[in-house]
Amino acid sequence: MTIHREGRTLLFVLLLILFGVNWALLYFLPEAALLQQIVLAVSVVFYLLILQFFRNPVFAIEKNDRVVLAPADGKVVVIEETEETEYLKTRRLQVSIFMSPVNVHVNRMPVGGTISYFKYHPGKYLVAWHPKSSTENERTTVVAKMKNGTEVLFRQIAGALARRIKCYVIEGKQLEQGDEFGFIKFGSRVDIFLPLNARVVVKPGDITKGGRTIIAEI
């Protein structure tokens, strides 16, 4: 387990701020022992909550060109056939994974391939499970073209709390299945659009682990 690079500066600054607050109470209000204890306890709990959000587990990726891995930790909230209108412009199977603030927020490649399309869309901050969040919220769209020519589209979507999406891909770059491609801060959603002949092996309500849970066979 490591701390993700997106959180290192924030965690350091937060540590300094909390240390300063507690030191100030101790220095200026030495007689307020109960208040000092309460503030210290709240500071420790708050810091640990932020710390766990930026955790980045280290594990071996079992690559398999015939399966699609979950791009994120979270819960499956949508499995449906839909029209993908931005790039593929065809009917697809959509699988959506909701990431709560307590999930690991590293996003990983569901398949290996060359990035054939990438676009960032500014937008709203509706709750991530809102039906219109896929098309109206701040989001990024990424398409990976596999060795067999199949293109898989996946989309990072900001939520009501997630106000910062990080996506590290560029068009033409080759990435392996399970490679980190992005990070979303504080609650969000990832949609993945699969060919209609894919066999989805998860169901709504299932818990996924990014880079480890198989969500479909293609």
User: What's the pLDDT score for residue 1?
Assistant: 78
User: What's the pLDDT score for residue 128?
Assistant: 54
| Residue 188 is a catalytic residue | yes
Question: pLDDT digit string (tens) for 3-39?
Answer: 888 889 999 999 999 999 999 999 999 999 999 999 9
State the SS3 of the chain: CEECHHHHHHHHHHHHHHHHHHHHHHHHCCCCHHHHHHHHHHHHHHHHHHHHHCEECCCCCCCCCCEEECCCCEEEEEEEEEEECCCCCEEEEEEEEEECCCCCCEEECCCCEEEEEEEEECCECCCCCCCCHHHHECEEEEEEECCCCCEEEEEEEECCCCCCEEECCCCCCEECCCCEEEEECCCEEEEEEECCCCEECCCCCCEECCCCCEEEEC
Residue matched to tokens 């969000």: 188
User: What's the pLDDT score for residue 180?
Assistant: 95
User: What's the pLDDT score for residue 216?
Assistant: 97
Distance CA 2, CA 7 (A): 11
8 A C-beta contact, residue 137 and residue 124: yes
pLDDT tens for the chain, 218 residues long, are: 798 888 899 999 999 999 999 999 999 999 999 999 999 999 999 999 889 888 898 889 999 999 999 999 999 999 999 999 999 999 999 999 998 888 888 999 999 999 999 999 987 656 555 555 566 678 899 999 999 999 999 999 987 655 578 899 999 999 999 999 999 876 688 999 999 999 999 999 999 999 999 999 98
Residues in contact with 157: Cβ distance below 8 Å, sequence separation at least 6, in sequence order = 128, 133, 134, 137, 138, 139, 188, 189, 190, 191
User: What's the pLDDT score for residue 97?
Assistant: 95
8 A C-beta contact, residue 152 and residue 113: yes
The average confidence (pLDDT) of the chain is 90
Active-site residue (options: 96, 133, 134, 188): 188
Class of domain 67-217: mainly beta
User: What's the pLDDT score for residue 120?
Assistant: 93
φ/ψ (deg, to 5) at 27: -80, -45
pTM listed for this prediction = 0.85
Domain ranges of the chain: 2-56, 67-217
Q: At what angle do helices 33-53 and 5-28 cross, to 10 degrees?
A: 180
